[in-house]
Amino acid sequence: MVDYLLHISSLNLAVISGEQFLLKTPSLVLYWSMKYKIKNLTFTQWVKQVSFIVLFVLLSFPQFLMAQSKEIIYVGTYSQNNSKGIYVLEFDREKLSTSTIQTVHDKESPTFLALHPNKKFLYAAYREGKNAQDKAGTVIAYSIAPDTGKLTKINEVSSVGASPCHISVDPTGNVVFLSHYQGGNLATFKILETGGLSESKTFIQHTGKSVHPNQKTAHMHAMIPSADGQWVYASDLGIDQILKYKVNLANGTVDETPVIFQASPGAAPRHFVFHPSLPYAYSLEELSNTVSIYSVDQTNGDLSPIGRINMLNDKLHSDYNAGADIHFSTDAKWLYASNRGQDNLVVYKVDSTSGLLETQGHVPSGGTHPRNFKIDEKGDFVFVANMETDNIAIFNLDKNTGMLKATGKNIEIPRPVFIDQLFIE
């Protein structure tokens, strides 16, 4: 008589023919155990041998007991130079190589993407409207295949404004925020139970101008939510303002009367980041090529300026310079910002008490026009999207110094302008 017992724990297994093997594993192992030893039956001997072989393979190669993990990179592009829209890539961390597993081109120029906090959905801001007469852009919601990272369209809605340039999702996963550069306005959308999007719930037009020739009208550039989702901070490059809007998470709307924080004339606030653990925020200013530092009131989210620092390398000359993107390292000890013109990334050390920045150096971007970059979520690499040279350069990140070193590896993609990362376990 043969019983089959399932043991879900570390196992001590004594196995066959006078030799004993003491084997332990923290994984789940299916083990067949004989209650009665029937030495003379061929079937019993066969079961013993097969059981041993199966156990030996599973214990020697535990990767067979677990699902294979994958790293997916999503790239947004301008639809130029034969770009195929959104690129879905699988990244090999050991070889620093990628393979294209999907391209999606539902509309022209999906230039900015945003992952839902649950990693099940992705939202894309397309520059092209819903039809030829539509001067607005389009927002498309996608579901993400849990085993491959591939995208499937859920629905599309009008962005309402012209030239959508930035999209973000509130940390609770209820609201999508959209910024329109050309139109100088913003829109919000409620996320539905399916992961799809409602039609626009809020549409707000900014007005005004500032001192630079590029600031003759409002130019919204980014909406960044607070960590608790109560507020969203809108950076308007054209009017030198950061506007704090109260968010209604249930309705997918924002209060239409913002609190306004005035930037320096001609600064052009473009992108904005919060320190993940300290009460400070940092505004990348495109036209002045500076980063402004703010303390954040923990009771009401108000900003107070406490410092400002240059982005440029004084040893280099360029007739054109424009700040682009800004991100923290995973440990938040270092802050990085990219510049188009000098085509480099500046590395700042963050003071853990004051929040102020100290320049550590500048690193060439590995191409031309580094519009966007991504800090690897494991903290090992930085991926830099160089739009004009059609490449994403991969850098090693030194966690002790914060400095970057070129690996010599590139991902060749036409007109890359956005990068994000997804881990599939």
pLDDT of residue 77: 98
How far, CA to CA in Å, does 139 sit from each of 51, 175, 245?
55, 13, 21
Phi-psi region of 364 (alpha: psi -120 to 50; beta: other; left: phi over 0): beta
Closest CA to 90 of 66, 74, 111, 77: 74
What is the rounded distance in angstroms from the CA atom of residue 70 to the CA atom of residue 218? 42
Overall residue count recorded for the chain in this entry: 425
Token digits for 299?
Answer: 């009771």
Q: Which residues of the chain have pLDDT under 70?
A: 1-68
**Could you tell me the CA-to-CA distances from 220 to 31, 161, 242, 307, 406 in Å, in that order?**
62, 10, 10, 23, 33
- pLDDT tens per residue, range 137-192: 999 999 999 999 999 999 999 999 999 999 999 999 999 999 999 999 999 999 99
Residue whose tokens read 């332990």? 24
- The DSSP code for 392 is E
The pairing of strands 86-92 and 344-350 is unpaired
State the pLDDT at residue 89. 98
- What is the 3-state composition of the chain as percent helix, strand, coil, each rounded to the nearest 5? 5, 45, 50
Q: Contacts for 147-150 with beta carbons within 8 Å, 24 or more apart?
A: 147/424, 148/70, 148/101, 148/424, 149/70, 149/72, 149/74, 149/88, 149/90, 149/101, 149/422, 149/424, 150/88, 150/101, 150/102
**pLDDT at res. 380:** 98
pLDDT at position 131 is 83
Q: Report how far residue 256's alpha carbon sits from residue 370's, in angstroms, rounded to the nearest whole number.
A: 34
pTM of the predicted model, to two decimals?
0.85
Predicted local confidence at residue 27, as pLDDT: 41
The angle at the Cα of 222, spanning 381 to 392, to the nearest 5 degrees, equals 30
According to DSSP, the residues that pair with 246 across neighbouring strands are: 231
